[in-house]
Amino acid sequence: AGWLPGLAPWATVATTAAMAVVAHLAAARHETQANVYRATAQRLRGVHKLWSVSPSRYSAAEAAALVDEVETAITTENGAWLADWGKGSEAP
């Protein structure tokens, strides 16, 4: 029958429990990323809204300011993503 016949069901339970914990941690990480993306999208909508109502929005200075604001928002989001990704790749 085997070395420890009663061990197989418990090994299955332990494996299932461990996988449930791993799935929960992955879901929490995805939720955090979704919140960061949502905040970035909201920030970009605000930047666009301010630019779209500016009477001088087609001037070179306004275009440059728009590009700077968008790049800052995307760079900030990218930095948050890299920091989160780095946490996930660290050895325990």
**How many domains would you assign to the chain?**
1
Domain boundaries, position 79:
16-85
pLDDT digits (tens, 9 = 90+) for 54-76: 999 999 999 999 999 999 999 99
In a domain, 4, yes or no: no
What integer best gives the mean pLDDT of the chain?
87
In a domain, 91, yes or no: no
CA dist., res. 89 & res. 83, Å (int): 10
- Predicted confidence at residue 58, as pLDDT, reads 93
pLDDT digits (tens, 9 = 90+) for 35-55: 989 999 999 999 999 999 999
44 close to 70: Cβ distance less than 8 angstroms? yes
Q: Which has more pLDDT, 32 or 19?
A: 19
Q: Which has more pLDDT, 27 or 51?
A: 51
Distances in whole angstroms, Cα of residue 22 to Cα of each of 14, 25, 30, 31: 12, 5, 12, 14
Distances in whole angstroms, Cα of residue 34 to Cα of each of 9, 18, 30: 37, 25, 6
